[in-house]
Structure 1
Amino acid sequence: MKKSTRHLYFAALFGVITFSVQAAPHYVLEKVVEVSRHGVRPPTAGNRKEMETGSGRPWASWLTADGQLTGHGYSAAWLKGQYEGNNYRQSGLIGAGCPTPREIFVWASPLQRTRATAEALTDGAFPGCGIPIHHSAEKNDPLFQNQGPGIATLDEETQRKGALAALGGSLSAAQKRLQPEISLLKQAVCLPGAPCPVFDQPWKIKFASDGRIMITGLDTLAAMAETLRLEWSDNKPLNQVAFGHATSAAQIGKLMPLLTIKYDATNDQPYVARRGGSLLMDQIAKALQQGVTVRPLQDAPPDTRWLLFVAHDVNIAFLRTLLNFSWQQGEYPRGTVQPAGSLVFERWQEIQSGKRFIRILFRGQSLDQIRLLTPVSDQHPLLESELTFSGCEKTDVGTLCPYDSALARLRQHIDPSLIQPVSYQDQLATSRETP
């Protein structure tokens, strides 16, 4: 009896253990669509002129030409790419060694800093493989630079109303309300007792030649905040970062809020985001449907396991606004898109049920990870923020949202009148442009 009882006990225990193992969900990563920002760069020539005129003094010089990816920026992006490649190999998305075209396809904005960042990310993920970097032969790629007459024309009055709403109804009131942030930035960039014109000028709305809204004054302050962050990120000596007024990541973070305010009033307007982000969002949605839908997809991107777009912070801003997705990470202010930061869409399948899910997250390196070129590891992970909404569940692989409802969220605010065929055959980079 005792032996029989023991047998029954162990049989029951084994059955419970077996059931638990079988019942535990097992997910497989099927597809990744990633939209990355370019890495660290000096200020663009236009921003440099505005900042120097507005502050009445020259700003720090860089070894790299204005607006182009720096050598330090390449290295930081390489480290992020190395982590992502290792992570996706462990997840079974890609295999060992150099990948096939079915495993990764890269499409970059035509500018040097984006193409070079694409090289850095893929060199880190696939060292020695020389992954082809594809980009449009045109100066303006409709996926990334599509605002303007004849493409996604912007209405001035709608933008004006959106900007005022984001700033609380009045430019002058917003400028007064934000004086603590403005004064802190002024202390960092202005010479004591010397003229610093941009800080004394009232903010005004005007429009660029392509129809985009601009806020004179605020735009220059935002460019200053961004440049101080880039000086820190490029590991400039402390006496050159913010003119010697910032010695920690926390201090840099406190100088950046006006960049968030500028985006709230311009690129993050729902109307502007819809005009600027609909075509790219449509391509992302189609990519996530590849291999699932039985209907042929028209004008879809190349069908590959890892589809990597490398573009600009404004493109990610459009997408996050369409998704109603925001984040605050580390020392960065709300909504910051740091150098080489990326908005990632992962498609997972639960093996037992066959159900599919989508995980949406924003990931990037901290201020100090970029400055110190810290290798990404379990001890020094990337900063990650996940989108969640009704129906999403936390799992061992992250927050997974039902496939159909996630796709519906992607498509919810796409303007169908802006959808057009996208060619991915325009030009293949034939030379490596890494700094």
Structure 2
Amino acid sequence: MMLRRHQVAARLLIAGALWSGVMQAHAEAQYQLEKVVELSRHGIRPPTPGNRKDIEAATQRPWTRWTTHDGELTGHGYAAVVNKGRWEGDRYRQLGLLTAGCPQPQDIYVRASPLQRTRATAEALVDGAFPGCGVAVHRVEGEDDPLFQTEAFAATNTDPARQLAAVKQTAGDLAARQRALQPAVNALKTAVCPPAADCAFFDKPWQIKQGKSGKTSVEGLSVLANMVETLRLGWSENLPLSQLAWGNITASAQITAVLPLLTANYDLGNDVLYTAQKRGSILLNAMIQGVEQGINNTADATPDTKWLLLVAHDTNIAMVRTLMNFSWTLTGYTRGNIPPGSSLVFERWRDTSSGERFLRVYFQGQSLNDLRNLQAVDQTHPLLNEEWRQSGCRITDVGTLCPMKAALRALSNRLDHSAITPVSYPAF
């Protein structure tokens, strides 16, 4: 009787596997992946030099010096991004978007922000997806790219008066916001303040400030957010616990507990709609043009490749997602958090029977502990993700697919067309 039960269980397991394979084959036959446009954040880095100066002044003590120069991608960060790139390359080959071996020019185009951490992240992604192929990473000449460094260009810059008014309106009662976030402030203070210091900075009222350039920030909150980001990056880097908040942080849950301060800083920074419209419209428009390329007779210079990979910063993703009216909460993170190496993805799918096209839009990233442990991305340890959706979308075996025309209308309805200038793509 026991043997018969095992035989039945085995047959059921085999039948289930066969059915799963049939369903997957059916999904792949019904829907074909045609194009991917991906906007990625750079991987793990130490604090930037400016952030280090601010957080050390606020806590009255020096913070850990990493083995990598401040602001640059670490070796650990490179390896974590390779893991993600390997999984993406394998997935796109399994879905038929890519073929085996090294890619052809029409398969992928990569453009990175000029900074070292973004260029190195782009190299890690293609090293993972196409090992040994030497895929080119493109960048503009000089230090400023109109897609990513939008503060440097007149068309994408904000009006100082409107910028200040928009931040104040979004902030509302700033004192009430500060009181609501006091548990996170207290947890951060406990972790990073020397026992004998009063760390009066943590108790100062937050204030909206505007610099001579017109850029706004929330004095007090912005430095706290930089501390949180530095701790999160240190955890993800697998710094020894003795070098992470002086041994006061020993579990990822303690990072999660202070992340609301980073979310609050996003809310009053790059997530302000006016800011996003002026400084993010050109990038979202480029992503939309990329996903349309090949089916519309557009005159723009967007590369017509199967995979358009753009590598930049969390600030870029924040502005684009604000224009999209898209937010997410990945497990272990707080609302809208943008982990190192995470990405916002547009996939264009076609129904092979009807010819109708759809968009699948989602945000993806690795967990705090998977980044720390350099965990390979696989079925047991998948990327965390959350999908964008609206009415009319359908749930399928390949994900949430939204009719393309309606999706593009929704994604583009908050663009500021006065802030969109022609974009050129180097070496394409």
Say if 2:293 and 2:302, in contact at 8 Å, map to a contact too: no
Tell me which residue corresponds to 1:99.
Answer: 103
After superposition, what is the alpha-carbon deviation per residue over 1:255-294, rounded to whole angstroms, capped at 9, x for unaligned?
A: 211000011011101111111111111111111111211x
Tell me which residue corresponds to 1:283.
Answer: 286
1:52 to 2:56 alignment: yes
Tell me which residue corresponds to 1:139.
Answer: 143
Q: Find 2:117's aligned residue among 110, 113, 136.
A: 113
Letter in 2 for 1:363: Q
Say if 1:226 and 1:259, in contact at 8 Å, map to a contact too: yes
Tell me which residue corresponds to 2:15.
Answer: none
Q: Residue 28 of structure 1: CA displacement?
A: 0.3
Letter in 2 for 1:340: G
Q: Secondary structure at the match of 2:156?
A: coil
Letter in 2 for 1:45: P
Say if 1:283 and 1:300, in contact at 8 Å, map to a contact too: no
- In structure 2, do the counterparts of structure 1 residues 422 and 193 end up closer, same or farther at CA, with 3 Å as the change threshold? same
Tell me which residue corresponds to 2:184.
Answer: 181
1:30 to 2:34 alignment: yes
Q: Name which of structure 1's ranges 68-77 and 152-161 shifts more when overlaid on structure 2.
A: 152-161
Q: Find 2:196's aligned residue among 164, 189, 193.
A: 193
Q: Residue 417 of structure 1: CA displacement?
A: 1.0
Letter in 2 for 1:350: D
Q: Name which of structure 1's ranges 242-251 and 132-141 shifts more when overlaid on structure 2.
A: 242-251
Tell me which residue corresponds to 2:264.
Answer: 261
1: CA distance, partners of 2:262 / 2:28:
44
Tell me which residue corresponds to 2:10.
Answer: none
1: CA distance, partners of 2:143 / 2:222:
24
1: CA distance, partners of 2:152 / 2:199:
33
After superposition, what is the alpha-carbon deviation per residue over 1:165-188, rounded to whole angstroms, capped at 9, x for unaligned?
A: 333x23233223322221111111
Instruction: Answer 1 or 2: which has greater helix percent.
Output: 2
After superposition, what is the alpha-carbon deviation per residue over 1:322-356, rounded to whole angstroms, capped at 9, x for unaligned?
A: 11110111111111110010000000000000000
Tell me which residue corresponds to 1:390.
Answer: 391
2: CA distance, partners of 1:101 / 1:197:
56
Listed as ranges, the matches of 1:302-313 within 5 Å are: 302-313=303-314
Tell me which residue corresponds to 2:418.
Answer: 417
Letter in 2 for 1:109: S
Tell me which residue corresponds to 1:322.
Answer: 323
Q: How many residues align?
A: 405
Tell me which residue corresponds to 1:3.
Answer: none
Q: Secondary structure at the match of 1:239?
A: helix
Q: Residue 410 of structure 1: CA displacement?
A: 2.2
Letter in 1 for 2:94: Q
After superposition, what is the alpha-carbon deviation per residue over 1:50-96, rounded to whole angstroms, capped at 9, x for unaligned?
A: 00001111111100000000000000000000000000000111110
Q: Which runs of 5+ in 1 are unaligned?
A: 1-20, 429-435
Q: Residue 149 of structure 1: CA displacement?
A: 6.2
Tell me which residue corresponds to 1:343.
Answer: 344
Tell me which residue corresponds to 2:126.
Answer: 122
1: CA distance, partners of 2:186 / 2:170:
21
Tell me which residue corresponds to 1:15.
Answer: none
Tell me which residue corresponds to 1:371.
Answer: 372
Tell me which residue corresponds to 1:16.
Answer: none
1:404 to 2:398 alignment: no
Tell me which residue corresponds to 1:216.
Answer: 219
Say if 1:55 and 1:189, in contact at 8 Å, map to a contact too: yes
Larger Rg: 1
Q: Name which of structure 1's ranges 416-425 and 36-45 shifts more when overlaid on structure 2.
A: 416-425
After superposition, what is the alpha-carbon deviation per residue over 1:12-57, rounded to whole angstroms, capped at 9, x for unaligned?
A: xxxxxxxxx9999710000000000000000000000000001111
After superposition, what is the alpha-carbon deviation per residue over 1:342-393, rounded to whole angstroms, capped at 9, x for unaligned?
A: 0000000000000000000001100011100000000110001000111111
Q: Name which of structure 1's ranges 373-382 and 176-185 shifts more when overlaid on structure 2.
A: 176-185
Q: Find 2:236's aligned residue among 233, 237, 256.
A: 233
Q: Name which of structure 1's ranges 406-415 and 208-217 shifts more when overlaid on structure 2.
A: 208-217
After superposition, what is the alpha-carbon deviation per residue over 1:188-246, rounded to whole angstroms, capped at 9, x for unaligned?
A: 11012313242132222222444221111110000000000001000001122222122
Q: Secondary structure at the match of 2:127?
A: helix
TM-score (norm 1): 0.90
Say if 1:30 and 1:349, in contact at 8 Å, map to a contact too: yes
Tell me which residue corresponds to 2:207.
Answer: 204
Say if 1:148 and 1:210, in contact at 8 Å, map to a contact too: no
2: CA distance, partners of 1:150 / 1:197:
39
Letter in 2 for 1:131: V
Say if 2:288 and 2:408, in contact at 8 Å, map to a contact too: yes
Q: Secondary structure at the match of 1:363?
A: strand
TM-score (norm 2): 0.91
Say if 1:147 and 1:275, in contact at 8 Å, map to a contact too: no
